[in-house]
Structure 1
Amino acid sequence: MKLLIDSADIKSIKHLIEYYQIEGVTTNPTILTMETANYWEQLRQIRSIIGQDKMFFVQTLAVNSTEIIEEALKIISELDENVHIKVPVIDEGYKALKELNRLGIKTLATAIFTAQQALMAAKCGANFVAPYVNRIDNVSGDGINVVSEIVKLSEMHQLSTEVLAASFKNVNQVHQCSLVGAHSITASPDIIEQLHSHPSSAISVKQFSKDWEARFGSVRI
């Protein structure tokens, strides 16, 4: 399962890239409004930090297919051709996904709330589909089950589209997504930190050091 950072915070991205195995970064308009830098400057900084070999997702703002495609082409021209373009699954988005696929532009269908939306986006050529796990739960749905159904549909219909689960409020949701076969997950920096840690691990390390120092007088070998 690939692990991506859902943030535009430069400090957090630098830290997570340095310490953990991270495959890329996802952004959206809301995330980018939280930063003080210019839109393009922020995106270029992120690309500079993660390098060309990691996946980078940038979302369009338009709600008209023609304008979505125009924005996608501008994003690629301003950044690079390896950027994945995020397109919401509205009617105009599906239309844009078909054309972007024809143009050979990599895409992610975002704001997905049902497995059928994901399947339709995959049929339109989306490389990734992003079900919103916690937001689905918030509207009386079952986010994990939706992810599971998308994975099953992908396998059943032999689709190359990958499931990139998004929108998490806790580690257990990420864990459950990994159990049902999500190909990738994108999460906020705090969730990613929590995926790698447990209080008992730190307690164990302190006890090891305490026992060693009591016996040998040093905590270095």
Structure 2
Amino acid sequence: MDEHQGTDMQIWLDTIDFSLIRHARQLGLLAGVTTNPSILAAAKQPVESVLDALLDLQPGKLAVQVTCDDSASQLRQARRLAAKSDRIVIKIPAIGDGFQTMAALEREGIPTLATAIFESRQIVMAGLLGVHYAAPYLNRIEQAGRDAALLLQESQQILQRQGKRTLIMGAAVKSLEQFMQCARAGIGAVTLPADTYRQLFASTPDVDAALARFDSAWQANPFTARSALFLTE
């Protein structure tokens, strides 16, 4: 079994929101940043400068997706990206020629991430090819009426039984429940859009009420309210 199996779930951010990337980096949570063609196009800046900024902003990996379908073109793009930094992971759609491309890149020592995954067979194939990461689109799988949690559990069990190194990376995670599905399944990584990442730190009415009771009790007693140990200045 690969050394990565059984370790803590990696947190990646699927965003180019620099403030959130800094937040996760400062907490020591950040394993890397994922991008896709839509994210980079929305930046309305030269792609090269955006990628440079993301590499400078955090010490982890940076996943960048190819934008063509045939293997020869995918390989050319991938090799140019990999030459830019050894921290770049190449995202390849797990269909058609993409499998050939991932196999070739992994043989060359260029790490890949199988993306656009909706079925467990795509994850199994990525495992057989020695791909570093396989990213199922959890929210889209659920929107299609399928059981994303079952797909995670089944795929993780298969990879573990076969001793494959591929880490499943939960992607398109749009809710805290989907995040917890990833944690329960024991998969290797999850990549979160900005809104889902923020939800991890949000309060709830129950928490707010409990904290309010603590504060009320503290302020009602002059010995606690005036304690020098708890001054805020």
TM-score, length basis structure 2: 0.87
Unmatched runs of 5 consecutive residues or more in structure 1:
none
SS in 2 for 1:63: coil
The answer to whether 1:198 aligns with 2:206 is no
Structure having greater relative contact order (Cα 8 Å, sep ≥ 6): 2
Moved more, 192-201 or 112-121: 192-201
Q: How far does residue 64 in structure 1 lie from its aligned partner after superposition?
A: 0.9
User: Which of 72, 78, 97 is the aligned partner of 2:78?
Assistant: 72
User: Which of 24, 29, 33 is the aligned partner of 1:21?
Assistant: 29
Paired residues, number: 218
User: Which of 35, 38, 43 is the aligned partner of 1:35?
Assistant: 43
User: Which of 38, 42, 67 is the aligned partner of 1:61?
Assistant: 67
SS in 2 for 1:204: helix
C-alpha change, 1:205 and 1:19, in structure 2 (3 Å) is farther
Unmatched runs of 5 consecutive residues or more in structure 2:
1-8
Q: For each residue in 1:45-83, what CA deviation from the matched residue of structure 2 results, as whole angstroms up to 9, or x when unmatched?
A: 1111112xx1221111111111111111111223x1121
The answer to whether 1:142 aligns with 2:147 is yes
Q: Which amino acid aligns with 1:15?
A: H
Q: Is the 8 A contact 1:56 1:83 kept in 2?
A: yes
Q: Which amino acid aligns with 1:72?
A: A
TM-score, length basis structure 1: 0.91
| Structural mapping, 1:157-176, within 5 Å | 157-176=162-181
Q: For each residue in 1:83-112, what CA deviation from the matched residue of structure 2 results, as whole angstroms up to 9, or x when unmatched?
A: 111110121100101110110101111111
Q: For each residue in 1:19-70, what CA deviation from the matched residue of structure 2 results, as whole angstroms up to 9, or x when unmatched?
A: 462221111111112213211111111111112xx12211111111111111
Corresponding residue for residue 3 of structure 1: 11
Q: Is the 8 A contact 1:108 1:129 kept in 2?
A: yes
Corresponding residue for residue 97 of structure 2: 92
Q: Which amino acid aligns with 2:51?
A: L
Corresponding residue for residue 208 of structure 1: 214
